[in-house]
Amino acid sequence: MRLKGKVSIITGAASGIGKATAQKFVKEGAIVAVCDLNLDAVNAVVEELKAAGGEAVGYVVNVTDKAQIADMVADLKAKFGRIDVLVNNAGIVMDAQLIKMTEDQFDKVIDINLKGVYNCTRAVVDTMVEQGAGVILNASSVVGVYGNFGQTNYAATKFGVIGFVKTWAKELGKKGIRANAVCPGFVATPILKAMPEKVIEAMESKVPMRRLAQPEEIANVYAFRLRTKRATSMVLPLKLPVA
């Protein structure tokens, strides 16, 4: 149990990569705070993790709501006395070509995928500085490296997250805090349900192994980055699979 006792916040933890990361972390001994929007979904994941022998607590958290985030962090500190890990996983897609994109589509993706990462990190960073230790893991994407058709808003947020971690590594590395971004290709999660089947098939055709990545594979990368002791940022464009 290489993460034994590490108090770990995971946003968007009720499904997909977030849920797989919560499962991986408790297997490694971490104490996991399952954060998501839906209370029933949060409770279901917490119960599943506990049934598997893990230690977990659940919170309804909207990453655009600073008060909810602050309450969650305060409760965790009251229970466990520290915050060791933040996984900024929550995110959405609202795709459209630039000439068709609405202000609402742009603003919502920016608010959740970019400002939400800032909100959550800002809420824990003082605690990590006081501890002299902490890890901030962030979900970026190859779309943030290369761009993608129809994803002006999403690409901007994922590029922005890479900028966040490069900056945070410079500011916080000397304080014992590591900031990293993981940049997967397309992953088989519920976020892809809105995409037409032919688009999914086109994605798969571009991957050497002819399949999308599984959430568990990304969770394994998060766990690896958590165990790695380097204080610098590491952006990992995962080549399996890349659209």
The verdict on residue 196 lying in a domain is: no
Residue 202 is assigned to a structural domain of this protein: no
Residues in CB range of 51: below 8 A, 6 or more apart: none
Evaluate whether residue 208 is within a structural domain.
no
User: Containing domain of residue 228, as a range?
Assistant: 7-187+215-234
pLDDT tens across 42-94, in order?
999 999 999 999 999 999 999 999 999 999 999 999 999 999 999 999 999 99
Q: Residue 192: inside a domain, yes or no? A: no
In this structure, is residue 108 part of a structural domain? Answer: yes
Count of domains observed in the chain: 1
- Predicted TM-score of the model (pTM): 0.87
Inside any domain, residue 194: no
Is residue 103, in this structure, part of any structural domain at all? yes
Strand pairing partners for 10?
34, 87
Which residue among the candidates 59, 118, 146, 154 is catalytic per the annotation? 154
Q: Find the CATH number of the domain harbouring 168.
A: 3.40.50.720
pLDDT of 16-38, one tens digit each? 999 999 999 999 999 999 999 99
Q: Does the annotation count 118 as an active-site position?
A: no
Which of 163, 168, 204 has its CA nearest to residue 185?
A: 204
Q: Would you say residue 49 lies in a domain?
A: yes
